[in-house]
Amino acid sequence: MVVPRLQHLYLYTGLASPVGDMTKLQYAAANAGGGGTTYYNLVRDSSIIESKNHEHTDREGHVKGYLVNYEVTAASEQVLSFITPSNSWKMRNSFRKFHAYRNMMFENAGITNQEKGKYGHTIRPYLDNTHRLEEEKTSGQDVGTLALWNGNSGTVVARAATGGEWTYSELATVPLYEQSGPQMGASSLKVADEWPVMVCGENVIGGTETDTSGSYASVGMIHSYNLDRMEVVTPGTESTVEGPSNPLAALIASGNQAAGEILDIAKEQEMELPPYDLVDAGDSVFAVSQTTVKTPTTLGIVRGSCFVPAGLLGVYQKSAGDYTLHLTVVGEVLCKDMA
Cα gap 157→151, rounded to integer Å: 7
Question: Whose CA is closest to 250, among 242, 184, 50?
Answer: 242
* Pairing mode, strands 312-317 and 78-84: antiparallel
Cα gap 240→196, rounded to integer Å: 44
Position 247 scores a pLDDT of 65
Cα gap 276→290, rounded to integer Å: 19
3-state secondary structure (DSSP) of residue 106: helix
pTM: 0.83
Tell me, what amino acid is at 40?
Answer: Y
Cα gap 108→118, rounded to integer Å: 20
Cα gap 74→93, rounded to integer Å: 38
pLDDT tens readout for residues 289-312: 999 999 987 778 999 999 999 999
pLDDT less than 50: residues of the chain: 1-20
3-state secondary structure (DSSP) of residue 45: helix
